[in-house]
């Protein structure tokens, strides 16, 4: 099965999947992109993007990189819907402004 189509595995944090879903959908709506347009730009199916945005699917590592390039957001920011929701254990760069606070938790 291709990485774009894999369902969220048990190893992916449910929180990470939900945060990514919210970030992607929010970004797409803010940019006023249609699902079809975003899917075509990323080279994936509309159902794949729908799965990412609904939290039913989790992108592979290569798709996370493509999403980061496409949105202009560092990969760690794809998991930040708002301050305090970051998953810094997944972010080696510490790109989030609230890194020190969250790492202490």
Neighbours of 16 (CB within 10 A): 17
pLDDT, residue 56, reads 92
Instruction: For the chain, 105 residues long, give each residue's pLDDT as a single digit of tens.
Output: 444 445 544 446 787 888 889 889 999 999 999 999 999 999 999 999 999 999 999 999 899 999 999 998 888 788 775 544 455 455 545 555 544 443 433
pLDDT, residue 96, reads 54
User: What CATH number should be reported for the domain holding residue 52?
Assistant: 1.10.260.40
pLDDT, residue 16, reads 82
Distance separating alpha carbons of residues 1 and 27, to the nearest angstrom: 27
User: Which tokens go with 66?
Assistant: 């493509």
pTM of the model: 0.69
Q: Number of folded domains in the chain?
A: 1
pLDDT, residue 94, reads 55
Q: Note down the domain range covering 88.
A: 3-103
38 close to 28: Cβ distance less than 8 angstroms: yes
């Amino acid at each position: 099965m291709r990485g774009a189509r894999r369902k969220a595995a048990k190893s992916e944090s449910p929180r990470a999947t939900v945060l990514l879903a919210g970030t992607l959908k929010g970004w797409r709506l803010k940019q006023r992109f249609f699902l079809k347009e975003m899917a075509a730009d990323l080279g994936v199916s509309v159902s794949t993007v729908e799965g990412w945005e609904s939290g039913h699917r989790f992108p592979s590592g290569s798709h996370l990189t493509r999403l980061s390039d496409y949105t202009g957001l560092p990969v760690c920011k794809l998991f930040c819907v708002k301050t305090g929701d970051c998953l810094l254990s997944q972010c080696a760069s510490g790109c989030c402004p609230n890194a020190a606070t969250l790492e202490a938790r």
